Amino acid sequence: MTTVLTLPDSASSALSIRAKALLFRDPGSVQVHAQVERVARTDATVLVIGETGTGKELIARHVHQQSGRKGPFIAVNCGAFSENLIDAELFGHEAGAFTGASQARAGWFEAADGGTLFLDEIGDLPLALQVKLLRVLQERQVVRLGSRRPIALDVRLVAATNIDLRRAVEARRFRADLYYRLNVAPITLPPLRERPGDILPLAAHFISFYGAKLHLGAAQLSEGAQAVLLAYPWPGNIRELENAIHFALIVCRGDLIRAQDLQLPDISAHGATAPAPAPEPAATTQAEVDRLAVALQALFEARGPRLFLAVEQALVSGAYAHCTRNQVQTARLLGISRNTLRTLLRRHGLLDAVPRAEPTVVPDVRGSADRRLLLAC
């Protein structure tokens, strides 16, 4: 029997925010599932590694559910908050700790006491916060902002990243000691293109899910559509597959999904498939660096005002436009964290104030629906 993991209340959640289903049919996925089951029964810190859209949060939730911990599961996106907010949000604060702190508030670590705290996009955590996180993991206690009193904790940490933290350590963007503390029980989720045995079962799951929402009959995939799904590289992983199936159900004629209904890039009515993903961009050549040095020398000789800010703005705005205003791709292109990029974008008027997100909280497996919480940030 195939194990299927889904997000709670997935029927009411927005489309294409995160992977909402994960199953283990492919031999590679079966091995991952076995590893997750073994790790879940321990108290070890877990680091889930995988591309965006592969289902890292689903793995984290499954680890919590199988752990037997009685406290809540709290999911927090480290890349969704500015550097001046995430300290208080993670570790809590006392009244008067900073402007606007009219009353004391527990942080996410305290809220997850007895349960599991899932820190997504851990690679975006600022270096200063990495030091505090390391101390919390070592001492199993937290000190609120503006307080000197430590608070003992019983929290299991599950972190996730879509970047290579070892390379981030080499580039001095991530602390080596924190990396080793997080990397106790690593779980690597292969991208969908590397587990083809999961593609058609996942497609069947989404056909059933969205078919019921659209009040359709028992829709099926044609042989051509199946061939297209299996050959497509799925750069967006499970989220992209979900969107493709949802759209195909809307536009298909009758109860048969054909290849052209999927509307995947470079797919014809005959089932021709998209080419393999483009290779990684080549590293900057020395000739390009030399041309940049010449241009900078001209600016130095011109002695224009606010030179550093002008060059910084040109770099940031140019990279942001090159990546079609996609923050994740821009940060990756520049080799910086998304938090750092947001600071630069706001500094140069390229980004409005970032809305404050809210972590999702679900009760433990023994809890009831009325124990669901929503933490205001």
- Across 214-243, average pLDDT: 92
- Across 294-317, average pLDDT: 82
Instruction: For residues 304 and 184, give the distance between their C-alpha atoms in angstroms, rounded to a whole number.
Output: 51
Average pLDDT, the chain: 81
Q: Is the pLDDT of residue 284 over 90?
A: no
Number of domains present in the structure of the chain: 2
What DSSP assignment string belongs to 5-73?
EE-TTTTTSPTTSS--EEE--SHHHHHHHHHHHHHHTS---EEEE--TTS-HHHHHHHHHHHHT--S-E
> How sure is the predictor about 2, in pLDDT bands with cuts at 50, 70 and 90?
low
Same domain assignment for residues 55 and 172:
yes
Least confident of 163-172, 313-322, 349-358: 349-358
Instruction: For residues 322 and 354, give the distance between their C-alpha atoms in angstroms, rounded to a whole number.
Output: 21
- Say what the pLDDT of residue 199 is: 96
Q: What percent of the chain has pLDDT over 70?
A: 83
Residue 178 phi/psi, 5-degree rounding, is -70, -40
- Across 32-57, average pLDDT: 93
- Say what the pLDDT of residue 341 is: 84
315, two tokens: 């770099």
DSSP-based three-state secondary structure for 35: helix
Determine the structural domain holding residue 314 and report its residue range: 296-347
Same domain assignment for residues 115 and 147:
yes
Same domain assignment for residues 170 and 109:
yes
> How sure is the predictor about 217, in pLDDT bands with cuts at 50, 70 and 90?
confident
Q: How many CB atoms lie within 10 A of CB 296?
A: 12
H/E stretch holding 119 reads strand 116-120
> How sure is the predictor about 220, in pLDDT bands with cuts at 50, 70 and 90?
very high
Domain holding 338: CATH number? 1.10.10
Same domain assignment for residues 363 and 341:
no
Domain assignment present for 118 = yes
- Say what the pLDDT of residue 205 is: 93
Supply the Cα-derived Rg of the chain in whole angstroms: 23
Report the DSSP beta bridge partners of residue 186: 47
Buried residues in 138-149 as b, exposed as e (16+ CB within 10 A): eeeebbbbeeee
Q: Is the pLDDT of residue 227 over 90?
A: yes
Same domain assignment for residues 334 and 363:
no
Same domain assignment for residues 329 and 365:
no
Domain assignment present for 265 = no
261, two tokens: 């209904």
Domain assignment present for 79 = yes
Place of tokens 């019921």: 212
- Across 47-58, average pLDDT: 93
DSSP-based three-state secondary structure for 272: coil
The reply to whether the predicted model has a pTM over 0.95 is no
Over residues 162-191, the pLDDT tens digits come to 989 999 999 899 999 999 999 999 999 999
Domain assignment present for 98 = yes
Over residues 252-281, the pLDDT tens digits come to 988 899 999 998 886 443 344 444 443 444
Among 168, 148, 230, smallest CA distance to 194 is for: 230
Same domain assignment for residues 300 and 366:
no
Over residues 123-173, the pLDDT tens digits come to 988 888 899 899 999 999 988 888 888 899 999 999 999 989 999 999 899
Same domain assignment for residues 19 and 73:
yes
Residue 76 phi/psi, 5-degree rounding, is -130, 130
Domain assignment present for 80 = yes
Residue, of 272 and 297, whose pLDDT is higher: 297
Domain holding 43: CATH number? 3.40.50.300
219, two tokens: 């829709």
Least confident of 87-91, 149-153, 225-229: 87-91
Q: Is the pLDDT of residue 359 over 70?
A: no
Same domain assignment for residues 96 and 145:
yes
Q: Is the pLDDT of residue 243 over 90?
A: yes
CA-CA-CA-CA torsion sign (349, 351, 355, 357) = negative
Same domain assignment for residues 364 and 333:
no
Domain assignment present for 148 = yes
- Say what the pLDDT of residue 147 is: 81
Same domain assignment for residues 53 and 113:
yes
Same domain assignment for residues 149 and 13:
yes
Q: Is the pLDDT of residue 367 over 60?
A: no
Domain assignment present for 58 = yes
3-state secondary structure 184-237: CEEEECCCHHHCHHHHHHHHHHHHHHHHHHCCCCCCEECHHHHHHHHHCCCCCH
CA 164 to chain centre: 13
Residue 47 phi/psi, 5-degree rounding, is -120, 115
Among 252, 251, 234, 231, smallest CA distance to 242 is for: 234
Domain assignment present for 377 = no
- Say what the pLDDT of residue 357 is: 45
